[in-house]
Chains A and B, each alone.
Chain A
């Protein structure tokens, strides 16, 4: 006893005791962290390891015996490697292959003739060595005896190892490596175009006194409400070989880079506009007064005051647009023609050639620019300082007839572009047989007669979008609350914050493919959700996590940190505070998250295209599949169904918001 007392260790460091509230909070944060780990981190890890999984022919693992002309006296058994060392029939670069590789062995015998009576025996030297006789799989160390005519049908199958061969292979295949260049080029051109157009729009909307601003704002959000495939379909109808405006193409084909760029401008414009508009909406009038008193010209003021003020917004928008363009899959699939892009390559490798490893390689490559863009954006965001201080005087544009008319004309042109794109889809969907029979007809809405899942797919999409909005909002908002409002546990919170920001940089195709590898594995305890609605919901919530998370954080940051201590001192458990105060106060943001998730779940294609099953086909994927099968008019019709649904959801969201907000936000008004 005495010895024990002397060696007793020093007591542990004093730490504030965790209250049951803290334990609950940490527990909740742990649950949501676990969600992000299972739904994001682990699948991405499996994707990465799949891209490193290579196949090559191991010549040491096969043995062949050859008989003489009588077909009965067999010579000694020799490995294929030994045979090849003599005749050099198989070049070393032939050994690297894919999972479906096949290698013929007759070249190993110079005097081979399928007519000769010579017989052959072949076997593996390990249990896993596999070869085909014709199309029949043989495995293991049992000798297989074959006559010459059958032996010529023998092909070896590769074994699996780990290495960088897939990447080497990728970069030495010009057709594949070209896609990187194409994707970067299209991304760059589209970004420059979109940012210029969006800046003009944002400038007109914020710095002029033109009429119908709210109408323009409404029209500019339309592209968000449709799948990115729809502008592709619209372009086919406008500028395709039977297009209404084909002559505008001046002999160029819309199928290819031109089509991808125009379509990309269409579907990324609202995103860029939103960010740049926010940047231009705040300005300090004193800067402009100073410029005026220094007699700076309007032009000079624009470049020295306006643009620098919005530069972070512009850079941020540029990265968002660039990432959206290079990771989008629907648009280049529909309108890209022979022009290869990375995102389409993933689909071609996986669906066209069943080459999962190469699909994983392209996914990993697609992650690189997206992650890069993401980190550059984060660094720049940190440099952003508040433009408005307490002493600022908000800038108010003055009426200027000439300038306002110019703005109005410019906005009308862009609005016309958007409305024409949607209008032509509407038109094509409601005529009988474009362009030969233009009688109005609802035939294209008879989806049950087409590929893609019929009306069932449409109802599935609505169900999926509702579930995503419901569960997504709960998960995202709770997670954001735990990060923002809990004390201590710094490492955990930083890690959580990182995981929550990651989905922004993960292309949908990569996420979808990662989900196949991760969830479709019998050893995975979550295997059961593969092929169900649940995996689609999990995937979609994860795919759109970041923006929702940021919206929730912004709303939560507006709430004073004093609420928590006050509640604690009043001995109120945190869940009471959360449900009675935090949620009602943040209701506008919560509703925004819900509608954001709903609209995106309706339109998303890239992540779910690998994951839907026969029972869970989706409307957005049906648009893709119907277009793929050449049923373009029904594809346009289904795209329009998605559009109508999202418009209805937006209207409903507006109405619900108004009712709830008058009830819960009365405190905002005196």
Chain B
């Protein structure tokens, strides 16, 4: 029996090996980009690299970061394509990212590339903090549109402002870290004290304040530009305001997970992610791209969104994140208990 089995097994093994040699590589790619964009990104990439297939694992930024950190000792992902740069810096601090300088990285805006050489992450596009302002509801009570962040502390906005909670939303954190960088610590906390007086709710998600403004649940939603443009296209009576002091921003970025078994394919994906072609693809939703000079205007957004972006120190934000969040929670989370 045994002797007869051996040739069959050998033939089977040979077939397996042969198929493996010709088989395409499948990359497990973790992402937090909008669900509607996934198919388009996948199709464009697979057209450029027919021998590599993408297997998306998608979730919101917070969930994805938690998932990656939970898998620290047993990573499941090959590549992260489309996660906040601040999250990637947390992973970098755990030694989870593989440094790699993709072909053509020198063409990118340096603000969108990790400062280490070789870099561990490279940016794709940016989302920029903005205020969504419901003009229909504002007209009803005669409320003027805010021009700056500091306008939001004026008494007439009391109870009409919603912003994301930085302890559960990346967008909320980018707002707070931007205010701290723009105004300096002391002034920024004073500003937030005033803002807190006017806030009606802190949401868990960064796009929700804008959608609430769109639905008239609030008049002012502190959010970012992308959901604003989308809500406006859907018929929401809102204006998207970029405050005059400047806006915090976050880069969506790409990185290779250290220890991947498909390093060569992963590198090809990262090469593609910084290419001009890929950046044109990101342009369908995002107005600010890592690749300078090619961005076309996005519906309902001004042409000069990039000019509102402050000089953002990701490393400072990542290394001070814990302290900032603790201070924020101490000041504003404990106040939200019922008034006795």
Which residues of A are interface residues toward B (Cβ below 8 A)? 97-98, 100-102, 104, 132, 134-137, 139, 153, 155, 157, 173-176, 178, 181-182, 185, 236, 240-242, 253, 255-257, 333, 337-340, 347-348, 350-354, 356, 432-437, 448-454, 516, 520-522, 527, 531, 613-614, 625, 628-632
Whether A520 contacts B71 by the Cβ 8 Å rule is yes
Whether B337 contacts A137 by the Cβ 8 Å rule is no
Whether B94 contacts A629 by the Cβ 8 Å rule is no
Chain B contacts for A450, CB-based, 8 A: 35
Whether B337 contacts A178 by the Cβ 8 Å rule is yes
Can you list 28 A-B contacts (CB < 8 A)?
A100-B322, A132-B319, A135-B116, A175-B329, A175-B330, A175-B333, A175-B334, A236-B217, A241-B217, A333-B204, A337-B200, A338-B201, A340-B333, A348-B167, A351-B168, A352-B167, A352-B204, A354-B65, A356-B70, A450-B35, A453-B35, A516-B70, A614-B57, A614-B59, A629-B208, A629-B211, A630-B205, A630-B214
Whether A630 contacts B62 by the Cβ 8 Å rule is no
Chain B contacts for A354, CB-based, 8 A: 62, 65-66, 69, 90
Chain A contacts for B115, CB-based, 8 A: 134-135
B197 to chain A, nearest CB (A): 13
Complex-state Cα separation, A32 to B175, whole angstroms: 51
Chain B contacts for A98, CB-based, 8 A: 322
Complex-state Cα separation, A625 to B204, whole angstroms: 10
B106: interface (CB < 8 Å) = no
Complex-state Cα separation, A102 to B58, whole angstroms: 29
Chain B contacts for A236, CB-based, 8 A: 217
Whether A137 contacts B334 by the Cβ 8 Å rule is no
Residue in A closest to B95 when the chains form the complex, CB atoms: A137
Contact partner of B93 (CB less than 8 A), chosen from A137, A176, A625, is: A137
Segment 289-324 of B: residues with Cβ below 8 Å from A: 314-315, 318-322
Chain B contacts for A432, CB-based, 8 A: 235
In the complex with contacts A157-B93, A520-B74, A102-B322 CB distance below 8 A: yes
Whether B322 contacts A155 by the Cβ 8 Å rule is no
Complex-state Cα separation, A247 to B319, whole angstroms: 47
B79 to chain A, nearest CB (A): 14
Complex-state Cα separation, A627 to B337, whole angstroms: 23
In the complex with contacts A98-B322, A236-B217, A450-B35, A136-B60 CB distance below 8 A: no
Q: Beyond the given A102-B322, A436-B136, A630-B205, could you list 8 further A-B residue pairs with CB under 8 A, ordered by the A residue number?
A: A135-B319, A173-B329, A338-B333, A339-B338, A352-B169, A433-B215, A628-B205, A632-B215
Complex-state Cα separation, A350 to B211, whole angstroms: 25
Whether B201 contacts A337 by the Cβ 8 Å rule is yes
Whether B216 contacts A352 by the Cβ 8 Å rule is no
Complex-state Cα separation, A628 to B326, whole angstroms: 23
Complex-state Cα separation, A452 to B36, whole angstroms: 11
Whether B319 contacts A155 by the Cβ 8 Å rule is yes
A151 to chain B, nearest CB (A): 14
Whether A240 contacts B217 by the Cβ 8 Å rule is yes
How many chain B residues touch the partner (CB < 8 A)? 70
Segment 5-48 of B: residues with Cβ below 8 Å from A: 34-36
Whether A435 contacts B216 by the Cβ 8 Å rule is yes
Chain B contacts for A631, CB-based, 8 A: 211
A435 to chain B, nearest CB (A): 6
Complex-state Cα separation, A425 to B55, whole angstroms: 35
Complex-state Cα separation, A132 to B95, whole angstroms: 10
Complex-state Cα separation, A344 to B135, whole angstroms: 33
A610 to chain B, nearest CB (A): 9
Whether B56 contacts A614 by the Cβ 8 Å rule is yes
Chain B contacts for A614, CB-based, 8 A: 56-59
B210: interface (CB < 8 Å) = yes
Whether A182 contacts B92 by the Cβ 8 Å rule is no
Chain A contacts for B337, CB-based, 8 A: 178, 181-182, 339-340
Contact partner of A350 (CB less than 8 A), chosen from B66, B212, B314, is: B66
Chain A to chain B: the 9 pairs with minimum beta-carbon distance, closest first: A630-B211, A352-B168, A175-B333, A338-B336, A630-B208, A522-B74, A137-B95, A174-B334, A614-B57
B202: interface (CB < 8 Å) = yes
Whether B322 contacts A174 by the Cβ 8 Å rule is no
Complex-state Cα separation, A98 to B329, whole angstroms: 15
Complex-state Cα separation, A134 to B116, whole angstroms: 9
B206 to chain A, nearest CB (A): 9
Residue in A closest to B76 when the chains form the complex, CB atoms: A531
Whether A174 contacts B330 by the Cβ 8 Å rule is yes
Whether B334 contacts A433 by the Cβ 8 Å rule is no
Residue in A closest to B323 when the chains form the complex, CB atoms: A102
Contact partner of B236 (CB less than 8 A), chosen from A102, A436, A453, is: A436
A18 to chain B, nearest CB (A): 38
B281: interface (CB < 8 Å) = no
B227: interface (CB < 8 Å) = yes
Chain A contacts for B84, CB-based, 8 A: none
Encode B91-117 as 1/0 by CB contact (under 8 A) with A: 011110000000000000000001110
A336 to chain B, nearest CB (A): 9
In the complex with contacts A352-B62, A614-B57, A135-B315 CB distance below 8 A: yes
Complex-state Cα separation, A281 to B95, whole angstroms: 64
Whether B62 contacts A351 by the Cβ 8 Å rule is yes
Contact partner of B204 (CB less than 8 A), chosen from A176, A339, A628, is: A628
Residue in B closest to A132 when the chains form the complex, CB atoms: B93
**Residue of A182, A241, A452 with highest tally of chain B CB at under 10 A:** A241
B200 to chain A, nearest CB (A): 7
B198: interface (CB < 8 Å) = no
Complex-state Cα separation, A157 to B318, whole angstroms: 13
In the complex with contacts A333-B204, A436-B235, A437-B235, A100-B321 CB distance below 8 A: yes
B288: interface (CB < 8 Å) = no
Complex-state Cα separation, A199 to B65, whole angstroms: 47
Complex-state Cα separation, A220 to B169, whole angstroms: 37
Chain B contacts for A185, CB-based, 8 A: 338
Chain A contacts for B208, CB-based, 8 A: 628-630
Whether A433 contacts B234 by the Cβ 8 Å rule is yes
Whether B207 contacts A629 by the Cβ 8 Å rule is yes
Whether B333 contacts A630 by the Cβ 8 Å rule is no
Encode B50-94 as 1/0 by CB contact (under 8 A) with A: 000000111110110110011101101000000000000110111
B195 to chain A, nearest CB (A): 14
A271 to chain B, nearest CB (A): 26
Contact partner of B235 (CB less than 8 A), chosen from A135, A155, A350, A433, is: A433
Complex-state Cα separation, A450 to B36, whole angstroms: 7
**Residue of B136, B209, B322 with highest tally of chain A CB at under 10 A:** B322
Whether B63 contacts A351 by the Cβ 8 Å rule is yes
Whether A135 contacts B92 by the Cβ 8 Å rule is yes
B237: interface (CB < 8 Å) = yes
Contact partner of A630 (CB less than 8 A), chosen from B76, B212, B336, is: B212
B138: interface (CB < 8 Å) = no
B325: interface (CB < 8 Å) = yes
B177: interface (CB < 8 Å) = no
Chain A contacts for B275, CB-based, 8 A: none
Contact partner of A135 (CB less than 8 A), chosen from B57, B136, B318, is: B318
B285 to chain A, nearest CB (A): 13
B279: interface (CB < 8 Å) = no
Residue in A closest to B38 when the chains form the complex, CB atoms: A614
B91 to chain A, nearest CB (A): 10
**Residue of A137, A182, A354 with highest tally of chain B CB at under 10 A:** A354
Encode B167-203 as 1/0 by CB contact (under 8 A) with A: 1110000000000000000000000000000001111
Complex-state Cα separation, A351 to B206, whole angstroms: 13
Segment 248-263 of B: residues with Cβ below 8 Å from A: none
Whether A436 contacts B237 by the Cβ 8 Å rule is yes
Chain B contacts for A137, CB-based, 8 A: 92-95
B117 to chain A, nearest CB (A): 10
A137 to chain B, nearest CB (A): 4
Complex-state Cα separation, A353 to B34, whole angstroms: 21
Complex-state Cα separation, A153 to B318, whole angstroms: 12
In the complex with contacts A174-B334, A242-B217, A97-B322 CB distance below 8 A: yes
B120 to chain A, nearest CB (A): 8
Contact partner of B319 (CB less than 8 A), chosen from A102, A351, A352, A434, is: A102
Chain B contacts for A448, CB-based, 8 A: 35
Whether B322 contacts A348 by the Cβ 8 Å rule is no
